A and B are shown apart, each in its own frame.
Chain A
Amino acid sequence: MIGREKLIARLQQVLAKSSADQTEIVYVGNESGLTRYANSYIHQNVYENDSRILFRSALERKVGVASCNSLVVSDLRKTLEDSIEIARQQPENPNFPGLPKPAKYKSLDTFDETTAGFSPRDRARAVKKVIAQADRKKFTVAGSCATSCAEIAVVNSLGVEAYQPISSASVSIIAMSDSSSGYAAGTSRKVTELDFTSLAKVAVDKCDRSQKPRQIEPGEYEVILEPPAVSELLEWVNYVGLGAKPFVQKTSFLSGRIGRKITSEKVTLYDNALDVHSAAFPFDFEGVPKQKVMFIDKGVAKGVVYDRAWAKKAGKKSTGHAITADDSSEGAFGLNIFMAPGTTKRETMVGKVKRGILVTRFHYINGLIDTRNMVLTGMTRDGTFLIENGEIVGGLKNLRFTDSFTRAFKSTVAMSRETERVNSWWSAVGCMTVPAVHLGSFRFSGKTEF
């Protein structure tokens, strides 16, 4: 960790040398450790200390981007010159809105010293706790335990100066028997909030209860989707439907449907990076303050997230959801997705299902089949259970589902009042916060052998 003063001073020193009309520097530096275990021993254990420094330079409306991973001043200056040279070679980009002006950011506590100082031995001790729970049932476990700290800073020649340190910790646990598996996971800015033993007990219990799974024929079933399963669906919904690019390009299921009811009124979906129940963060990678954005409000389509370039194309304002400039053609992206909770106690949800399936999580979902109708397909994994007359009666062999998100969520029966933070592929800077969901109808289209 470099610290605000020293880091900003270094970036400003280089920024002052820019000959471009406008220049932006984004710094993302991280120290991260990750311990992977499988077959109940640690097989990979890694640490990295790296950074990315991205320069975006504009000569009027000609824009160039270059990046490096060295903070040596001569390397920074060379990369700055590269960005200006690239800009010089470009045609005018009429969609370039210019860089943002300074803004105020919400003060958020996103850094935890204990997490930053969590050592390889600390992680190994945490893994040993997990292994101990599996040993009691003679199961094996696989998963990972990661801790990291990072600094993100944005400065630009119009006066933007944003800095935020963050920490994050996560654990994933898969307990395995000869015929079954069970999953549990946790994520937080503070490693002390992760209860490794309790999570391991959940994974082991799911593995135990799903032993000798029975086969069930694919078809339409009532389902309880646990938070990891809900989150995995929403990752793809977010990727192909909730950003400005697919919305403007008309491939999003929300395009042309704003104001229309598209799901049950029990469904409210939004992004809010300022909510400390998520992995909060105050600004985006252009230095624009994050705003809460409603995607679906009580079943009605409301909008998408924007960065400055896609906002200009759409005649809107940025919502503070830019990603880094080297990826900016992909458009804005929500990193702190929430599905609003309901009023049902989670422990009572199974009791309200006559015959259905409880899904712990999904595997390898894909949402590109028919994005206009938000059709998704994927497999269940690590704890799929049959529910009969309000009780779990045993494990099921895994099933493939193929269904439209909007069709399935029109049948929403209930949302749990409790929510969970769930890791997503962008977890270093955000996460999903979702309830368990009871759907009246979910379409399973295939089965597999385990």
Chain B
Amino acid sequence: MKEKLKECVHWLRGKGVNYADCRYVRRERELLKVSDGNVDGMSRTREVGVGIRVVAEGAWGFAATANLTAAEIKKTATLALKIAKASAMTKHEPVLLAEQEPFVDTYRTEFQKDPFEVPSEDKIGRLVNACDALRKSKKIKTAEGSMDFYRTGKLFVSTEGAEIEQDILESGAGISVIAFDGKEAHRRSYPNSFGGDYATRGYEFVEAMNFMDHVDRIREEAIDLLKAAPCPDTTTTVVIGGQQMALQVHESCGHPTELDRVLGTEISLAGGSFMTIDKLNKLKYGSDIVNIVADATVPGALGSFGYDDEGVKAQRNQLVENGRFVGYLSSRETAPVINQRSSGAMRADGFNRLPLIRMTNINLEPGSWELDDLIADTKNGIFFDINKSWSIDDKRLNFQFGGECAWEIKNGKLGRMFKNPTYTGITPEFWNSCDAIGNKNHWHVWGIPNCGKGEPMQSAHVAHGVAPARFRNVKVGVSK
């Protein structure tokens, strides 16, 4: 395949293109879903193809095919060239790409157990046992579990001489339970909602989740929610658990620091960003203890890789330093606008999608607090656990997020449970009210496999290293 791709870029170079790259992608997925003791579905998906990106006459074209014959690849390259020339019909300025060393390299995910080699009986047994244990109450309506594995091989070749091969393995799993009393229905999940937790690890990542150690807790909490009071409508201190902090970082820091959004090229679907270029190095995004990095080099994290889909090496870059906004996620095309080189954040959801600026691992660096001390230090407030709902405006300012459940904090202790809890705020006001962040003992990188962006829609695998954190004067309880 490498020879076919090299031949293709050689041909495009001969056609006088400004730049071209070819990506071959082979992706396999195994998805297992268990519900109430039955296997609801087990599927294996295999997709293979080539995507060709061209800059000609100073404008972009992209075409992709699943037919891997040399003739079809050349036909697809011809089409990408034609499309670039059509794009040039509305061009203002020619596309300029930041300089980039053309790497010739390989990268492979490190793992212990290949999930595709683990017998189905083991996977099914783990989920069925957990679901059976979750259903040990008449108030449980449904118990569900899932496992999800990806194996992706990529080959990247460019007119600049890059030749990069990568093999990335990803594993994810989770369980959840719904309690119902004839009137209300409430869900609790472990280790996270919407499919659980994901990582660039092998099956050992799933084994370490130890579902059976957590089934009694989430079953009883789901049942307790049936009797819980509604979250009060008030302004108070909130302590946000790790899983919900991951969502908070994702929506209010990850997306608004994507430089393509800032420059307006995602307006048509996902929107823009309040973190405009004039605010770089000036905006007090958060309090002094807030430090956020984009780090694609964290071992085992879902947003880790060797090279992005433009051939840029994985990096660690500061986005927020001591509360000040200092950096963007960028690409080779957008980085020159801020006189920088690419931060290595361009990734595509398969061979047939154009790379876009995507989050890598966007991590809130750990603070100094033990969680128990943080709760004990909070006179009155609410502790939010595990994300349930999310919404934010198209410049990423006004957000409203909901949790599966919350607990009242009174005189430094967790008290009664609240159902359908929500909190809302304006991004910089909220982050400037952060006065405590959990330490590295409570810091975990949560993998999120479904970050949507772009047209056609692309789903990216990203992650967020976070610990629980405390915020003051937050509006809570808006749920009707």
Residue ranges of A at the interface with B (Cβ–Cβ < 8 Å): 32-52, 63-70, 79, 82-83, 86, 89-91, 93-95, 119-121, 123-125, 127-128, 131, 140, 142-144, 146, 172, 174, 176, 249-251, 255-256, 309, 325-329, 363-373, 375, 377-379, 381, 398, 400, 402-404, 407, 425, 443, 445-450
Contact = CB atoms under 8 A, between A and B. Distances in A.
Interface in B74-105: 76, 79-80, 82-84, 86-87, 89-92
Given A400-B400, A445-B478, A46 B90 contact: no
A180 B199 CA distance: 41
B180 interface: yes
Contacts of B89: 42, 121, 124-125, 128
Contacts of B264: 38-39, 140, 142
Contacts of A90: 39, 42, 120, 124
A50 B49 CA distance: 9
Contacts of B265: 36, 38-39, 43-44, 142
B413 interface: no
Nearest to A252: B185
B40 A329 contact: yes
Contact of A364 (B180, B185, B392, B478): B392
A372 B184 contact: yes
A326 B400 contact: no
B389 A366 contact: yes
A250 B141 contact: yes
Contact of B480 (A44, A52, A69, A403): A403
A67 B43 contact: yes
B125 to A, nearest CB: 10
A312 B344 CA distance: 49
A446 B38 CA distance: 44
B160 to A, nearest CB: 21
Interface in B251-300: 263-269, 271, 274
| Interface size range of chain B in the complex | 35 or more
B62 A251 contact: no
Contacts of A69: 46-49, 66
B135 to A, nearest CB: 13
Given A38-B265, A49-B65, A329-B33, A445 B90 contact: no
B446 interface: no
B318 interface: no
Contacts of B178: 249-251
30 contacts: A36-B268, A37-B90, A38-B265, A44-B60, A47-B62, A47-B79, A49-B64, A50-B352, A51-B66, A65-B42, A67-B46, A83-B44, A86-B120, A89-B124, A91-B39, A95-B38, A142-B267, A176-B267, A249-B142, A251-B185, A364-B394, A366-B402, A367-B389, A402-B422, A402-B478, A425-B457, A445-B424, A448-B397, A449-B398, A450-B397
A65 B83 contact: no
Task: Please report whether the interface of chain A is mostly helix, strand, loop or mixed according to DSSP.
Answer: strand
Interface string B378-421: 00000000001111111101101010000000000000000010
B389 A368 contact: yes
Given A67-B46, A121-B86, A365-B391, 8 more contacts: A44-B60, A120-B83, A120-B86, A125-B89, A249-B142, A443-B480, A446-B424, A449-B397
Contacts of A249: 141-142, 178, 180, 185
A40 B265 CA distance: 10
Contact of A381 (B64, B394, B424): B394
A131 B92 CA distance: 12
Given A407-B480, A446-B400, A46 B420 contact: no
Contacts of A46: 62-64, 83, 353-354, 456
Contacts of B80: 47
B89 to A, nearest CB: 5
B479 interface: yes
B377 interface: no
A50 B66 contact: yes
Contact of A448 (B38, B183, B267, B426): B426
A375 B480 contact: yes
A66 B44 contact: yes
B446 to A, nearest CB: 18
A164 to B, nearest CB: 21
B14 interface: no
B365 to A, nearest CB: 27
Nearest to A170: B455
Contact of A326 (B39, B41, B184, B455): B41
B182 interface: yes
A176 to B, nearest CB: 7
B142 to A, nearest CB: 5
Interface string B431-456: 00000000000000000000000011
B420 A326 contact: no
Minimum-distance CB pairs A-B, first 5? A329-B40, A65-B43, A120-B86, A89-B120, A448-B398
B283 to A, nearest CB: 13
Given A326-B31, A369-B479, A377 B389 contact: yes
Contacts of A448: 393, 395, 397-398, 426
A68 B91 CA distance: 38
A381 B45 CA distance: 37
Interface string B20-47: 0000000000010101001111111111
A144 B185 contact: no
Nearest to A88: B120
Contacts of B391: 364-366, 377-379, 400
Nearest to A407: B480
A84 B38 CA distance: 18
B185 A44 contact: no
B228 to A, nearest CB: 12
A363 B44 contact: no
B455 A66 contact: no
A47 B394 contact: no
A128 B92 CA distance: 13
A42 B59 contact: yes
A379 B267 contact: no
Nearest to B421: A369
B3 interface: no
A120 B44 CA distance: 34
A50 B184 contact: no
A400 B394 contact: no
A41 B94 CA distance: 11
Interface in B176-200: 178, 180, 182-185, 187
A69 B480 CA distance: 45
Nearest to A91: B39
Contacts of B420: 369-370, 375
B322 interface: no
A369 B402 contact: yes
B213 interface: no
Given A42-B89, A174-B268, A402-B400, A48 B141 contact: no
Contacts of A45: 59-62, 83-84, 86-87
A200 B422 CA distance: 38
Given A44-B62, A46-B354, A94-B38, A34 B455 contact: yes
B455 A369 contact: no
A70 B354 contact: no
